[in-house]
A and B are shown apart, each in its own frame.
Chain A
Amino acid sequence: MRRIISVLLENEPGALSRVVGLFSQRNYNIETLTVAPTEDETLSRLTVTTTGSDKVIEQITKQLNKLIEVVKLVDLTEGSHIERELMLVKLKATGSQRAEIKRTVDIFRGQIVDVTSSVYTVQLAGNSEKLDGFIQAVGTSGVLEVVRTGVSGIARGEKVLSL
């Protein structure tokens, strides 16, 4: 099953490589990984999406917790949560394609953030399935370049992941 694990990590050199190293060392999957400092500059927030059986996921969270620099973590998929990913896509856009693409971008509530005579650059945020859906809708043949940030997530309601 796919899981989103959110981690508060000491914002120290080398901490991220320990997390990444753990996944490869123990043969766990990483599908996406995002990391950035938080409002507290001593902490980074890291989000990793992974897949595995319940037993594997349990091991992943336990092994992550064992890393000295991991302060706290939560498996967001255990409760209701919001997940978002940002995507920038360059699309071939000439002639009649231009209007068609514009419509699709509107349907997906994206924005065209850069334009040339033959290319649109589209920005789109949402969960990963929505981003996949957009690519499918415009068709891979017109896609020149895709860049995705990977998933970030947060729990719904009052629950917070903090010190």
Chain B
Amino acid sequence: MELLSGADMLIRSLQDEGIENIYGYPGGAALHIYDALFRQDKVKHILVRHEQAAVHMADGYARATGKPGTVLVTSGPGATNTITGIATAFMDSIPMVVLCGQVASSLIGEDAFQETDMIGVSRPVVKHNLSVRHPQDIPEIIRKAYYIASTGRPGPVVVDIPKDMTSPNERYEYVYPKKVKLRSYNPAIRGHAGQIKKAVDMMLAARRPVIYAGGGVILGKATEQLTELTRLLGYPLTNTLMGIGCYPCSDKQHLGWLGMHGTYEANMAMHHSDLILAVGARFDDRVTNATEKFCPGARIIHIDIDPASISKTVEADVPIVGPVDAVLKEMLSLVKSAKTEPDAEALASWWKQIDEWRAFHGMRYETSPEVIKPQEVVEMLSRLTKGEAFVASDVGQHQMFAAQYYKFDRPNRWINSGGLGTMGFGFPAAMGVKLTHPDDEVLCITGEGSIQMNIQELSTCKQYDIPVKIINLNNQALGMVKQWQDMNYESRHSQSYMESLPDFIKLVEAYGHVGMRIDRKEDLEPKLKEALAMKDKLVFIDIYVDRFEHVYPMQVARGSMKDMWLSKTERV
């Protein structure tokens, strides 16, 4: 029988859970835990420079690997600093466990030094949270936390650990539970067979079908099934911003992504469809535009692991609750054995129409002989890295350009904060990816606004040697805000300028990295190549791009899917 302190049990539990990296920052309430961490070498701890970054790192790791990330912080300010990161993970259903120190249980409620009710503060932005009340419960609580975080619809789980629970002076028998059972938590393991049959009949009878796939396909590891079904049916597919990579972008059946800044053809196909097969998507307002005008002629089949996502904003005709991989697999076998086939003639004329839409806009943008366009930077990066890099982005115009012009053919490579839209996410997320994918190219496409929200992590990169490439699409403005001000506030640029930018080159050099500035178009390709060739260096590439560029297409506010601006002057 092995006797361990609470702190040692906690670290042993992480080892037994197979956790290799944790991201964190120490402080008083977590010191017993940090001491236990010191006395072992299986779990590696990455010391960040701000707790928010620790959460984004764990998040980037989780998005790239599909496995839950782990964070360790102290009570009070350490814990509250994680909230933006936790909310980011929550909105995008990212599996994660956040371990927070807490003041000793005898002090709780007394406004003790660095006491914050983390259970209360985090409640609205977690899948679940747990407090430790007896040290001997630690192994079971840790097992539960990972189980809840990574099953069903994934999400972040916070564990609050009062300091006395980890005291080195009390020891308990350590057993790590193999399984946990929660009578009140039973995520669906398959979809309803009758509903699936009904859906397949509708799919085969459709004349203008479209498949609308979301991040759930990636989280549910169902890209293979989705790709096979889509190819078998020959139907067009569009995905959400979160779903990028769930189906190869370079494939002919792929219409690009849909919604506010989606492609013309994706939004047109959705609007004119007679059947939508929604897979692991949630009809978010950035996708649907005004719900009352949403796809008037379409019947909707909606597959999701979370029943609450179905008919939340747009009513589904055939709801199917279940894991997307299992449901798609059943659909595949039904389609294969079906006696009927999709109407070839109807499908051919539907594709003809779609190809016309595709030709009409085709993601064109105006180029200039002198000024560097942000779109062309991304296109060039896509070409130079053969579409195979991991690309983490921040939030703003650069994020949209990255998503529009980088050609992802694989899942888990596009890493962005879609639901919460958190500036400051991209850089630490890229770090989390790079640490576990040292041989892959990892880019952070950011803006001069966003990068400054977690720029202190340059120091962490120095300490652990994390050679990500930071592509700063520097438009000297909070570009996305400015675009909205151009379009809705007669170009009154209230607080959207970045008036005194640092000399980024000197700044990154001060942290011990390489900085590069590109402001002439002819330098773009050679310098990008040069930067990418420095495999073992963090390179910050500060690229001065067109300050006046807007992101298009852009849906007209409160319109239908098909109401879009295609450039500053064309509205359809």
Contacts of A145 in B (CB 8 A): none
Contacts of B120 in A (CB 8 A): 17
What total of chain B residues lie within 8 Å of the partner, measured CB to CB?
Answer: 19
Contacts of A71 in B (CB 8 A): 183-184
Q: In the complex, are the beta carbons of A65 and B128 less than 8 A apart?
A: no
Contacts of A163 in B (CB 8 A): 183
Q: In the complex, are the beta carbons of A18 and B123 less than 8 A apart?
A: yes
B183: min CB distance to chain A, Å: 6
What total of chain A residues lie within 8 Å of the partner, measured CB to CB?
Answer: 20
Q: How far is the CA of A66 from the CA of B127 in the complex (A)?
A: 9
Chain B 163-190 per-residue mask, 1 if CB under 8 angstroms from chain A, else 0: 0000000000000000000111100000
A88: interface (CB < 8 Å): no
Chain B 305-316 per-residue mask, 1 if CB under 8 angstroms from chain A, else 0: 011100110010
Chain B 105-145 per-residue mask, 1 if CB under 8 angstroms from chain A, else 0: 00000000000000110011001110100000000000000
Contacts of B129 in A (CB 8 A): 14
A6: min CB distance to chain B, Å: 15
Q: How far is the CA of A117 from the CA of B551 in the complex (A)?
A: 78
Q: In the complex, are the beta carbons of B184 and A70 less than 8 A apart?
A: yes
B300: min CB distance to chain A, Å: 15
Chain B 458-483 per-residue mask, 1 if CB under 8 angstroms from chain A, else 0: 00000000000000000000000000
B226: interface (CB < 8 Å): no
Q: In the complex, are the beta carbons of A55 and B184 less than 8 A apart?
A: no
Partner of B124, one of A25, A58, A65, A72: A25
Partner of A62, one of B128, B131, B183, B308: B308
Contacts of A58 in B (CB 8 A): 311
Most buried by B among A55, A62, A72, A163: A62
A140: interface (CB < 8 Å): no
Segment 306-353 of B: residues with Cβ below 8 Å from A? 306-308, 311-312, 315
Contacts A68-B148, A70-B184: A21 and B308 contacting too (C-beta < 8 A)? no
Q: How far is the CA of A21 from the CA of B123 in the complex (A)?
A: 8
Q: In the complex, are the beta carbons of A68 and B182 less than 8 A apart?
A: yes
Contacts A69-B184, A163-B183: A55 and B123 contacting too (C-beta < 8 A)? no
Q: How far is the CA of A12 from the CA of B177 in the complex (A)?
A: 21
Q: How far is the CA of A89 from the CA of B124 in the complex (A)?
A: 37
Contacts of A104 in B (CB 8 A): none
A63: interface (CB < 8 Å): yes
Contacts of B123 in A (CB 8 A): 17-18, 21
Q: In the complex, are the beta carbons of A10 and B308 less than 8 A apart?
A: no
Number of A-B contacts (CB under 8 A): 36
Q: In the complex, are the beta carbons of A21 and B131 less than 8 A apart?
A: no
Q: In the complex, are the beta carbons of A68 and B185 less than 8 A apart?
A: yes
A51: interface (CB < 8 Å): no
Q: How far is the CA of A65 from the CA of B310 in the complex (A)?
A: 14
A59: interface (CB < 8 Å): yes
Q: In the complex, are the beta carbons of A62 and B307 less than 8 A apart?
A: yes
Contacts of A66 in B (CB 8 A): 306-308
B54: min CB distance to chain A, Å: 24
Q: How far is the CA of A21 from the CA of B308 in the complex (A)?
A: 17
Segment 1-43 of A: residues with Cβ below 8 Å from B? 10, 13-14, 17-18, 21, 25
User: Which residue on chain A has the smallest CB distance to residue B120?
Assistant: A17
Q: How far is the CA of A14 from the CA of B315 in the complex (A)?
A: 33
Contacts of B306 in A (CB 8 A): 66
A153: min CB distance to chain B, Å: 21
Segment 409-460 of B: residues with Cβ below 8 Å from A? none
Chain B 192-231 per-residue mask, 1 if CB under 8 angstroms from chain A, else 0: 0000000000000000000000000000000000000000
Q: How far is the CA of A68 from the CA of B180 in the complex (A)?
A: 13
B5: min CB distance to chain A, Å: 24
Chain A 128-163 per-residue mask, 1 if CB under 8 angstroms from chain B, else 0: 000000000000000000000000000000000001
User: Which residue on chain B has the smallest CB distance to residue A60?
Assistant: B308
Contacts of B127 in A (CB 8 A): 68
Q: In the complex, are the beta carbons of A59 and B184 less than 8 A apart?
A: no
Q: How far is the CA of A17 from the CA of B126 in the complex (A)?
A: 14
Q: In the complex, are the beta carbons of B183 and A63 less than 8 A apart?
A: no
Contacts of A17 in B (CB 8 A): 120, 123
Contacts of A14 in B (CB 8 A): 119, 129, 131
Contacts of A68 in B (CB 8 A): 127-128, 148, 182, 184-185
A67: min CB distance to chain B, Å: 8
Contacts of A65 in B (CB 8 A): 307-308
Q: How far is the CA of A163 from the CA of B312 in the complex (A)?
A: 28
User: Which residue on chain B has the smallest CB distance to residue A58?
Assistant: B311
Q: In the complex, are the beta carbons of A63 and B185 less than 8 A apart?
A: no
A28: min CB distance to chain B, Å: 13
Q: How far is the CA of A10 from the CA of B124 in the complex (A)?
A: 19
User: Which residue on chain A has the smallest CB distance to residue B128?
Assistant: A68
B479: min CB distance to chain A, Å: 32
Contacts of B119 in A (CB 8 A): 14
Contacts A21-B124, A68-B184: A59 and B131 contacting too (C-beta < 8 A)? no
Q: How far is the CA of A13 from the CA of B306 in the complex (A)?
A: 26
A25: min CB distance to chain B, Å: 5
Contacts of B148 in A (CB 8 A): 68
Q: How far is the CA of A63 from the CA of B306 in the complex (A)?
A: 10
Q: In the complex, are the beta carbons of A63 and B308 less than 8 A apart?
A: yes
User: Which residue on chain B has the smallest CB distance to residue A42?
Assistant: B183
User: Which residue on chain B has the smallest CB distance to residue A10?
Assistant: B184
Q: How far is the CA of A55 from the CA of B316 in the complex (A)?
A: 12
User: Which residue on chain A has the smallest CB distance to residue B123?
Assistant: A21
A20: min CB distance to chain B, Å: 10
User: Which residue on chain B has the smallest CB distance to residue A8?
Assistant: B184
Chain A 55-86 per-residue mask, 1 if CB under 8 angstroms from chain B, else 0: 10011001101101111100000000000000
Contacts of A70 in B (CB 8 A): 184
Partner of B308, one of A18, A59, A69: A59
Q: How far is the CA of A83 from the CA of B185 in the complex (A)?
A: 29
7 A-B residue pairs with CB within 8 Å: A14-B119, A14-B131, A18-B123, A21-B124, A68-B182, A71-B183, A163-B183
A-B pairs, top 8 by smallest CB distance, nearest first, are A62-B308, A71-B184, A68-B128, A25-B124, A62-B307, A68-B185, A63-B308, A21-B123
Starting from the known contacts A17-B120, A18-B123, A68-B184, 9 additional A-B residue pairs (CB-CB under 8 Å) come to A14-B129, A14-B131, A25-B124, A62-B307, A65-B308, A66-B306, A66-B307, A68-B148, A72-B184
